[in-house]
Structure formats: structure tokens, C-alpha cells
Structure 1
């Protein structure tokens, strides 16, 4: 039976790749993002791949716009079965160089955007006692790194908020499910359109994965929402577990390497960024799902595949943790 799915941040990157996967299953998909050019292209993807698309220009930082989008989605496509919160924005900069307004904007989109999306979804799912919410998180929601303080803070907040909502649903014996998919570094257009004050072009910290790797895990989580969270990529598992067992060591390592690891050899971009307005509308461009790091990005994650099979997950996590611990110790001594 075809599902009705809402995806925020659907015009590019992970949201775009996720919409394509649901489209191949014939889903009815409400696509939410502020940029109309990217939304039109995403809707064309969905229709071409066999789904039904509804493009809804929406700034998720505005709860009224999110609520209106939810109303329209249900009126046009039917009751919402799955709501996926992907939308975010960021600033690459030392904390002292980020203005209060910029910090507020990152928080409003990346954290409160998920709060607004979750509220709109739950207000419809709870009376029906059915539905799934997927929060797209990040390893940086457990382990912060330099130059992304606003984004890391927002992602930490998403984890805390989601855990609180989950316990409330459990208290009510609700059949509505909420889960988190924690992502690694992904090759998305964000590194070309993010507001940056770095001397070089920002890049994801290797290893880098293609958006389709993330999208496959998001769709799997939507189908199997009983788990609290899913980790994508061995680097995500290693980062989170290393932070639990050796946080001080990781602090020193990131202080030494975190600046250079997030900058490529490319010259910096225009610096305008998409913090306040979508860049696709400014230029009439479609950024698609992929960023500029295709040659460095992995198309598969053995860890993510293993995570879809619970019997393998514990052994995989222990193996990754052992390897990570050995690697961190070597780097710290180097």
C-alpha cells in the first residue's frame, strides 16, 4: 500500500536522495524546502521515478508555515504515514566570529525546525495512533567538533528533545514511533552553499559517504522504527563510542586536527551562504543530491548494512570500537 511521506529539506542532499528512494516505491511525497527551484526539480524526480509529488515551499523555522504544509499535505495526499526531518543550515566559523542573529537562525532551522515538524506530525498521528517520525541526526550530535558550534549545539538538542518525546509516547502506550538516524560526513551541496568564514573551501571530515548511503538507512528506519536510533558509517560508530570512553583524548585530537580536516585545498566560495535565503532561487539552479566531493565519497557502508540486521550489530560495534580505540591512541602518540 502506498505511503504518504513528508520530507523537510527535500530539495537537495540527503532529503533529495531520500525522496527518490520513496518515489521508487510509489509513495505520495510532500517535499518541503524554502527554495522553489530545487523543489521543482525534486518533484520532477519523484514523478519520473513513479511517485506522486507535492512541492511545498516552507521555511521550517516558522511553525505556522510547517503547520500549513502539513494541512496541505494531508488534504492533497492523504493521512501522513511518515514524517522525515532533514532540513538544516549551518555556519562554518570559530564561535567568536558567529553573530547572535546567525546563531539564532541555525538553531531555529536545525533544531526548532525538527520541533515544529514533530509537533505537526504528532498532532495528526496521535489521534490515529499510527505513524512514524524520523529525525535525521549526526555523529556531531554526540561529539562536537570545532568550527561548527551552532550546528553541533542544535544536533545535541535534537537528541535530547527526541528522547523526551519518545518517553512520553511510551508512557501513553502510543503506537506512534520516533527514531533517529545518526549520519557521518556526507557529500551534499551544503559545503558549497553554507555560510563560511574559513580561509579555504569547507569539506566534510573523511571518510565521506554519498547521500544515497544515508537515504537507504533513513528509509530502513522508517520501515523499522522500533529502535531508538541507527548509526550510519563506521566513522559514526567510532566517533560516538570513542567520545564515551576517551572524551579528553578526543578533545585534544580534534583541537589539533579539526580545523585542517574541515578545509579542502579549494579556494573559498562567495561566502554568501544560504543561511537567510535559498541559493537555488537566487540563481535558478538545481543543486541535486550530491556535492563536489564525488571522487572521495563512498557509495556503500558495510556498517550500515550490518546495522539492518540486529544479530550482527553488537559484534560490528565492538569491532569498530576496538579499531577506533587503537587508531585514536596511534594518532594521539603521533
Structure 2
């Protein structure tokens, strides 16, 4: 991959992922496809790793060969590819490492241009099937193969890079960042076994609900300086705390479910606005997520949400009462 040495130098985005694949996938199935993977810093770019078992066409073309190959497992190979979905063309370097417990590594690399939308790059004859699965080769440890994939992407033009650059979700001031590492934090969120600390001042600025709670001495959180969180994961809470201190959280706001959870955490009344919008555009998944969230709240809180304003229509209100 060539690099430019001017102000128009294109950024390189690199990711390294490890995949642990059970042996039966290769002995029982003819293919393997990983879960969908996201790429930090590249908006709307996703990829999957795919392995496909097929007959090798190396140096053979006659009908007799193919008839014989169908009965001969030695002619089967596994191809390996990275399937990329992107809104614009990308230049891609990829390497595939398959580790062996016998201190050997099968290594292959390739590069090229990933076309717009869905495209793939890879190797048709990555590893011969029988050699791959035989015990003495050592590619499986405790019946798992370890596949390491390293990807480097860049846009093919500066215009595409600027077009796809994610919008930062970040506070405009710098003093909150500096304050984060100074002074004792006086509030904490307890999420499972984790304790996430913050200055009370910052969280009350961002969340009217929490602010009202901490100003009322009848709430135990106002007395203990702690809040036990059971309806959100630590990733959501940490993202909210990061935002309070001026950190960029665009990496998580690009994911719809996480973005909704952050809005709900900061101010649970936001769920009404999200639900109403989802209902109007028939966004079923998002609508159901909001409904499930509200229905799991205490009855008094559900009533406050249903009748706290004129936002929800009659049909939606009846879901919570």
C-alpha cells in the first residue's frame, strides 16, 4: 500500500482480531462466517471473516480430475476472505494467521481495492483440508483453531475520507478533561462488581433526573454518594461518564441500541420522545426496546412517564398502565 507524503495523506485504520473456531465447524460444515465486526474510526464500515471449503482447481481442468476429486478429500482446500461493507471504495491490506501448537504459523496476506458497498478480498487456497484437521498438524488446541486477522484500511480519496469521518460526540470545553484527574470524586455508580467514579457536579449537569435525586435527602443516593445500576451495563455508564468529562463517545453513539441506552440513562424521560418517534416511523425494533424498558420500571415511574406530559398518545399510554 503506497503512502502519500503531503497534506492529502490518507489515514490508515488498522484492526487486529482473534477468532477461536471449534473444530466441528470445519469437519461438519462447508463454511464458517464470523459475527459482524465494526471498525472504530470508520463510520458505517463493517466486515466479516469467511472460510469456505471447496475443490481446488490448481493445474487441473479435465472432467476426469473433477470426478476423481469428488471422492478424494486431499483435493479440498479452505479459502479465506474478508467481506467488507462500506459506503465508498476502500484500499485494503489483510493478513491471515492460523496458529499451530507446534510453534508453526500459517500466514497469508493480500491487498486490493474493496469496491463500494459489499465486496471481498482473500485467498482461494488458504489451507488443504486434510492437513488442516489432522491431529499431528496441531492447528487445533482443545478442539479450537485460533485465527488472527489483521486489517488495514484507507480511503481511496481525501474527499471520501472527509465525507465518512464520524462526527465527534464531545463536549466543547477542555477544563472538564483536566478536572477529571484532579480532586477527589464524590459520587460513584455501582454496576455489578464494578465501581465507576465521577464528580457529582458533572453528572448533575448532564442528567436532570439524577440532579433532582441528589438534591432530595429522602433518596438514599443523596446520603451514600452511590447509585446501584441494574438496568444498564458498565459500557453505557462509562460512556456517560466519559461524555461528562469531555471525551469523544462517537464510537458508541454510532450503534443504535447503545445510543438509545445512553439517552435513557441520562434522562429516562427521553424514552418517551424516542418511543413516540419510533412509533411514527414504524421502527419496530426500537419501539419494542423502549416499551420493554418502560414496562420494567416501577409502577409509579411508569405512570409518571405515561401521564407526565402530552407526548404519548392514548394507545401507547395503555401499554404501561
- Measured against the shorter chain, the TM-score band is under 0.3
More strand by share: 2
TM-score scaled by length of structure 2: 0.21
More helix by share: 1
TM-score scaled by length of structure 1: 0.20
